[in-house]
Structure 1
Amino acid sequence: MADNILQGRKILLGVSGSIAAYKAATLVRLLVKAGAQVKVIMTPAAEAFITPLTLATLSKNEVMVQISNHNSWNNHVELGRWADVMLIAPASANTIAKMANGLCDNLLLAAYLSATCPVMFAPAMDEDMWHHPATRSNVDKLLSYGHQQIPVATGELASGLFGEGRMAEPEDIVKWLEQHFIAATANKPLSGKTAIVTAGPTIEHIDPVRYITNHSSGKMGIAIANALADAGAAVKLVLGPTNQSTTHPGVTTFAVQTAQEMFDQVTSLYPQANLVVAAAAVADYRPANIADKKIKKGQAQLHIDLEKTPDILRYLGEHKAHQLLIGFSLETDNEKEYALKKLKDKNLDMIVMNSLADAGAGFNYDTNKVTLFSKNGDGRSLPLKSKLEVARDIVSAIIDLQHA
């Protein structure tokens, strides 16, 4: 990473009303130290947490709060066009809601609606607010606009609780900005391409307490998502329930639980995608009927009727237009036979085969051993490697397919 990647970059920092606003002082100091030009807009509510004078001193620019004062008018259109990036940190639940719905009752929001540059936001709120369906919907809207969300951290919250919702630390936000500008300036083979990656398991509910799932950790899919982003792609990671995650600024994560939710999310993103890597371990079956109350222990045997889940890969293969489609085949026997059949039946361009019979491969390991089969059936076996290295090999093969 270039030491001066932020040198001369113009950052418009929006600070909203959150206790995390105190971190804006450190963030501004770090950005200025890295050579960035920083202008700060505060919402009126943010003044209760940190003074404009503090941020003006650190940024060496006047801090703007009101659209106008007694002497001048702060031109929000000019501010929106001045910046290379608009960063809202902290982004409170209130400000996120207003951004998502186009409300414009302060200077920060006026500048946001006028911004012609990339927009990033670093949420900050209590855990219950962060997980509220309204907040999730608003965040999803901002992501659909092409904005980048800097992931929230887990830790002690202002309420005294411990959980998700903390604003990312200033040092991590600076890294996001650095990665953004590296990706924007580098001549990368997948620049301009949009990739969908599925990763992790799905869960299929039996009752409010129990569910069916598998051992997938999501490590392989996340490694592929990161490798695709490193190659310049804008990556949409559709991630099943797992404790694994990514903070790569080129990856936007969509969290899902069930096969149906994964199907719905992937198919909604598919028309705009250039390529799909389906690395998730999607459940093939789900309970036909989900009990609305916990099933009590009673009879010696319990029978659960199962029905097929949506076949995501088959749907994508049947509706493929311009996309490259890469699937995975994890087998325990007759590996090559089953992989080649899946490659053909689901209209894939490449399939990644691995076997649970290989030591160090499969679920939960940090390593994997795969064979890549192209559409004509030619295979290339790779030795046992770290999943990061395997991901890079897969992405290299995808780049070759792009130019084939």
Structure 2
Amino acid sequence: MNSPLRIALAGLGTVGGGVVKLLDENRDLIARRAGRPIEIVAISARDRSRDRGVDLSRFEWVDDTSSLAERDDVDVVVELIGGSDGPAVALVRSAIASGKAVVTANKAMIAHHGLELAGAAERAGTALKYEAAVAGGIPIIKAIREGAAANRIDRVYGILNGTCNYILTEMEENGAAFADVLAEAQRLGYAEADPTFDIDGIDAAHKLAILASLAFGSEIDFASVLTSGIRAVAATDIAHAAELGFRVRLVGLAEVVGDRIHQRVHACLVPLTNPLAKVSGSLNAVVAEGNFVGRLFFEGRGAGEGPTASAVVADLIDIARGEAGPAFSMPSEHLEPIGAGEAGDRRGRYYLRLSVADETGVLAELTATLRDAGVSIDSLIQRGQAESGGVFIAIVSHETSESAVREAIEAMRASGSVLGEPMLMHILDF
């Protein structure tokens, strides 16, 4: 068997510990599939004393993480530190400059610096791999970059954050309020003490920007991802959705319309007939639509020790086999700077939830406002008492432009009949 692939592991949190365990438990199988052993030679993390549930004494501990990039006995640097900037990106830049391959699970770093790092890796003749950065154990990067490489992909979308999906599923099954479910998710460890990146959609937006670049052959454009999360989703929205034949899911969607890319992360009403509606708990799912292969659907665990470690080691196996190739399906110089589409141009059906005064004539006023904006109503539900003292009205529109719906909402805000902030969600109709 060939000489070992020697790796340095930076970051020994949940995923780092999982990588060590996986390389131990499946050592022989991995060596046969890789054509050579994969061995850790050096490790580094902030806290040397922390018990990680795995024997680390056999590896050389390095306090200065940045020095891993300079070691002559290292072929691959595995970056599991996290963060879009700081030590993580500095280590990766140094490793590539030293001609070392890099494997990372750092979605924020790839979303912000992926184009730069991919170009540097190509010039250095080394590999930049990041399967673990998107959807954990689901091999979606490899599927788009390799399995669907012959296809033009016009749309990629999915459930990209397990924390949000867990919260929405619990709200759906138990009728609980968002704040109560979030608190329980934090107690159980499904949500961080500061859940902002998850529940405000930022984590999913990082992943979506990466998927869009892979799918469309475009430069990563994280700044153009329109992002909102699930903070404003109320139990009444979950109930309305069920009554109308939908489930609420946080969906990341990127699609090419004309010569523009639309990227957004937002809560959507998903028809019960759509496979995403059946994705529950902390699972992730991704759909890619190719012009020859058709619709591809991937589902699995999107985070955690096992799934993410599995993706990291899969990248290591590729490197051990000598499978490098460009990070984003094609050489970085061929990625196109495709412009962002205007949100208002997006057409589809919409869900609008309002709290309104329980008075005669209010419904007629609302329908007239929608009519004047060019929005026609497909269905309407009036039920339940709102905290504001009014009643809830849920409206589903026929297909129209987003700009028309937002024009109607602005007019409603000026009305004394509308109490509180209207809630708008797209309907996923494909």
Give your verdict on TM over 0.5.
no
Task: Answer 1 or 2: higher relative contact order, Cα 8 Å, separation at least 6.
Answer: 2
Give the TM-score, by structure 2 length: 0.30
Structure with greater helix percent = 2
